[in-house]
Amino acid sequence: MRPRPGLPPLLSRLALAAALIVISAVLPACDGAAADKRDVTDSSSLFHFKIPATWQYMIEPSAISVYAADTLPEAGQPAEALAIVTHVSSATTDTPVAEALVAYAGYLSQTRGWTDVEIGVPADARVGGRMASAIDIAGTDGNSRAFRARYVWVRTNGREVLITAIAPPDVWGEYSDDLDTLLDEWYWHRAEDASADETATP
């Protein structure tokens, strides 16, 4: 499926999320409190979510990278655990979310050298109680590494929020409950009909 006119610029911005998975594997993690869970807040204070205290994370403007382990992979080595990237874009589109998500998945498969790709059907989902669309993908990436992924897209507060979760196929099932819990323990800082530009207190 070809993206509608006006959608590719948005897809290009959201594609940065996939690249951040690689970045998160080579940059140092943030310090965290010695507790069962800790909060991770995005740079614009649009939302925060909870992760296990042992997981590694990094916050950048408009993006958060999370790695579901207490240590990061060595530089240049493949990830062996779940990686999650959130990306917030102010470049919006009137394309229905499910349709935009399918277009995005097709865009990635064509531009990132994926092979043996299986793209699922978009399904309704919820992130912090708000409606979203999710799609599951399996394939082999441009480095000949097999992967499974879930892309979740939320349109809220005048922003497009993309959540990318990816892991090797043999460990994907181990993190299914963790991913569901993260999306449930997700807290929006503004009312659903409010603008993201309004001041909010986390």
The burial class, CB within 10 Å (0-12 / 13-18 / 19+), for 31 is exposed
pTM: 0.81
Four-residue CA torsion sign, 40, 194, 165, 176: positive
The domain in which residue 50 lies consists of 8-27+36-188
* Amino acid letter, 17: A
Instruction: Specify the 3-state DSSP secondary structure of 134.
Output: strand
Q: Is the predicted pLDDT of residue 199 greater than 70, yes or no?
A: no
> Measured between alpha carbons, how far is 64 from 87 in angstroms, rounded to an integer?
7
Instruction: Specify the 3-state DSSP secondary structure of 162.
Output: strand
- Residue 22: inside a domain: yes
- Residue 193: inside a domain: no
- Residue 202: inside a domain: no
- Number of compact structural domains in the chain: 1
Residue 85 is encoded by which pair of tokens? 């990237």
> Measured between alpha carbons, how far is 198 from 202 in angstroms, rounded to an integer?
12
> Measured between alpha carbons, how far is 164 from 4 in angstroms, rounded to an integer?
22
Percent helix, strand, coil in the chain, to 5, is: 25, 35, 40
Considering only 5-14, 85-94, 172-181, which range has the smallest mean pLDDT? Answer: 5-14
Mean pLDDT score across all residues of the chain: 83
Per-residue b/e over 73-105, b at no fewer than 16 CB within 10 Å? Answer: beeeeebebbbbbbbbbeeebebebbbbbbbbb
CATH number at residue 54: 3.40.1000.10
Instruction: For residue range 65-110, list pLDDT tens digits in order.
Output: 999 998 877 777 778 899 999 999 988 888 999 999 999 999 999 9
